[in-house]
Every structure is written in C-alpha cells, then in structure tokens.
Amino acid sequence: MAQAAHAAARVPTSAIDERIDGALQHLRNPKVQAGVVLGSHARRAMSEFLHGRDFVEIPPVIVAPVTDPLNHPVSDPRVDYYGHDFQLTRSMIFHKQLATLAFEKVFCFSPNLRFEPLDRSGTGRHLVEFTQMDLEVRDAGRDDIMRLVEEMLTSVVSTVRSRAAPILQELGRTLPPISSRLRRVRYEDAQKEFGPSFELELSRRAKEPFWIIDIPLLEREFYDREDPKHPGFLLDMDLIYPEGYGEAISGGEREHELGRILERIRAKGQTPDEFRWYVEAARQGLPPSCGFGIGIERLSRWLGGLRTVEETTLFPKRIGAWSL
Ligand code: AMP
Ligand code: MG
C-alpha cells in the first residue's frame, strides 16, 4: 500500500481548521491512497484498451448552454458569463452524441457535477463531483456496445490484477473472475421478483457483474431510444456490480431523429427550448449512435472492495457537506 509522504502534526485551532485537518487526514489515509492508485490504473487500462480499438479521446466540456436533464432531481447551478447562461456539466451525453459528427468512436474522462439530494448521502455510491468515462459510437447498436463493455471490463480487471497486485493484496481483495459474456436480466422480470430495490438485491446475490436491460421508458431521459419492436421500453442497459456494489454503468441507443426527440421531450413535460442547442443540431441531422458512461470512483471502489466511493478520491465532495 502507498505510504503517506508526511506524518504531520494535528493542531486544530477552530472549526474551520478541524475541517481542513479532516480533509488532510483523508488524503494521508493509506486506504484512500490505495483507492486512488486503483483508479489511476483503471483509467490507464481503459485508455489503452480504447486506443487499441481506434477510439479518439476528446477533451471534457465543463460549462455549456445545455447539459443532461437526468431523471432524478438535482439542483441546477448556472453560471452567468457576460449575459451568457451556462450550465455545469452533469454528463457529456449531448456533447458526445454531437462528437460522433466528427469521429466514429469517441470517449472522454468527463468531470461531472451533480448537486445530489440529501437522501443520496450515505449510500457509499454518490459524490457531488465525480468522473465518468463517457463513450459513444456512431452507427452502433446495443449489442455491439454490450460486447465492447464486456471486453473492456475483462481487460481492465486483468490489467489491474497484475499491475496493482501488491495494493490488492494489502487491501485483502480478491477480484471475482468475469465471464466473457455477462448475464442479462430484464428490468420488469427483476422488479417483479425482487420489488422496488431489485437492483441492490440482485447486486448482493451476484458473484459477477450482470446486465439489466429493457428499461421502461418512464424510468429514463428523453434521449434514450425507444425499442421500435417493444414500445414503452428503451434500448438501454445498466451494468450492475456484484457483491452489493450496485450500478456501474448506464448506457443505450439514442433517439437521433428530430421528430422523435421533440415527441419524447414533450412527453417528459419538458420544452424543446430548454435543449435549444441540441435540438438545433438534431434539426441539421444527428447520426444513430449508442454508448455508455462508467463512474470511475465506483469502479475503483469495486476493484478495491472499499467501503465507499469517498475512499477513491483525494478530495471527496460529500453530499450536503463542506469539502476541500
Ligand atoms: P447516470 O447517467 O446517472 O446513469 O450515471 C452514469 C454513471 O456515473 C453511473 O452508472 C455511475 O457509475 C456514475 N455516477 C452517477 N452518479 C454518481 C454520483 N453522484 N457519484 C458517483 N458516481 C456517479
Ligand atoms: Mg444510471
């Protein structure tokens, strides 16, 4: 395990000093350092895998006129810059879709800011600031992307197993083996059998990652493509970690035709004006595409068998709390 560089004296002189002291203790914590190193290995392994498949890494977008509406409430910080109204990136969903106008295969290590509601604090899975490896492929279908994820995950796990062997040993972590094809569970079947918290129930029982597919339309955002053969359901997929670690990935095919996009925006009770820049791009023509996003902190947490995502980042932004 990585050693702390300095053993510093603790001299809290005020409440603020105590908070800073706590933040400094956090980054000196060997477990946290191990979590960060695992994330660093995971990013490198992912990047090597994707470059090997001719993906182009695009730079992240931090402020933009439009960002992911998400399907759950988060507060909506905006920046006014000389009268231009910018939102802070909640995900690169729209920009990566637009990026497929430039390149067939793109990925990005994208900082996401989500001012999550208080009821998400203490899940061990949510931070206010996190990084998503967000990926999109022009003209790809859901099956293509599910295969890509399976191959990428196998590669990341085996690379981390060998490059980070001493860290995994220090943490007492044995990563479970991964089959080349992961199990697929239909959302409705899982819900019927295990009730509303089916995702965590199934995650606790699972020995390896598995897919949840065919997610009902109302559960997701307007940009996820409805299955033409199965109306009311989306060509979406979530990958769930085993051992109770919960959701790893959300992904899917995208609505790309202007008429469908407008219909889906209105069905959500939203207005095309809220997404003006994206709608204008769709008017000019967007290619079909499919992709996914994987949270780096959740991946590092699972790789290390860590208690919470906070242990995978030096400066965790905790929900509703002060952080450095
Ligand atoms: P979503 O678009 O909400 O499905 O998020 C995509 C992925 O980002 C998820 O599958 C998680 O791995 C990760 N993620 C989402 N929200 C958070 C959060 N608040 N903190 C850490 N990771 C997150
Ligand atoms: Mg999700």
Q: What is the mean pLDDT of residues 255-271?
A: 96
295 CA to middle of ligand 1, Å? 5
- Ligand 1, atom nearest to 127 Cα: 20
Reported as half-sphere exposure (CB side, CA atoms, 13 A), residue 36 has a value of 16
Does residue 98 have a pLDDT over 50?
yes
- The total of other beta-carbon atoms located within 10 Å of residue 295's CB is 22
Ligand 2 centroid vs 24 CA: distance in angstroms? 31
CA distance 209 to 182: 7
Residue 156 burial by CB count (10 A; 0-12/13-18/19+): exposed, middle or buried?
Answer: buried
Residue 7 pLDDT grade (very low, low, confident, very high; cuts 50, 70, 90): very low
Nearest CA to ligand 1 atom 2: 250
Give the position, in ligand 1's atom list, of the atom nearest the Cα of 90.
2
pLDDT digits (tens, 9 = 90+) for 141-186: 999 999 999 999 999 999 999 999 999 999 999 998 899 999 999 9
Domains of the chain: 32-312 (3.30.930.10)
Protein residue closest via CA to atom 10 of ligand 1: 249
- For atom 19 of ligand 1, the residue with the nearest CA is 126
**Percent of the chain residues past pLDDT 90, beyond the cut:** 89
Q: Considering all CA atoms of the chain, what is the largest pairwise distance in Å, rounded to the nearest integer?
A: 65
Q: Which two tokens stand for residue 197?
A: 């918290």
SS3 for 108?
Answer: strand
pTM, full prediction: 0.94
**CA–CA dist 302, 311 (Å, integer):** 11
For the chain, percent of residues with pLDDT exceeding 70: 96
What pLDDT does 13 receive?
62
Q: Which residues sit opposite 127 in a β-bridge? A: none
pLDDT band for 272, please (50, 70, 90 cuts).
very high
One-letter amino acid for residue 151 of the chain: E
If pLDDT is split at 50, 70 and 90, which confidence band does 77 have?
Answer: confident
- What's the confidence (pLDDT) of residue 89? 96
Q: Whose CA is nearest to atom 4 of ligand 1?
A: 250
Q: How far, in Å, is the centroid of ligand 2 from the Cα of 25?
A: 32
What is the predicted pLDDT for the residue at 76? Answer: 86
* Centroid of chain to Cα 297: 9
Can you tell me whether residue 72 is helix, strand or coil?
coil
> Which protein residues have their CB within 5 A of the ion that is ligand 2?
250
- Return the residue matching tokens 């279908």: 141
* Chain segment 127-153, per-residue pLDDT in tens: 999 999 999 999 999 999 999 999 999
Residue 65 and residue 85 in contact, taking contact as beta carbons nearer than 8 Å: yes
Which residues, listed in sequence order, are joined to residue 236 by a DSSP beta bridge? 252
Residue 5: per-residue pLDDT: 42
What is the pLDDT at residue 289? 98
What per-residue confidence (pLDDT) applies to 74?
87
Cα–Cα distance measured from residue 27 to residue 38, given in angstroms and rounded to the nearest whole number = 15
Q: Which residues line ligand 1 (CB under 6 A)?
A: 91, 114, 116, 126-127, 130, 132, 247-250, 293-295, 297-298, 309
Ligand nearest to the CA of 215: 2
Residue 254 is given by DSSP the state: B
Distances (CA, A) of 86 to 66, 76, 79, 114, 274: 7, 11, 5, 15, 12
- Residues 20, 25: Cα–Cα separation, whole Å: 9
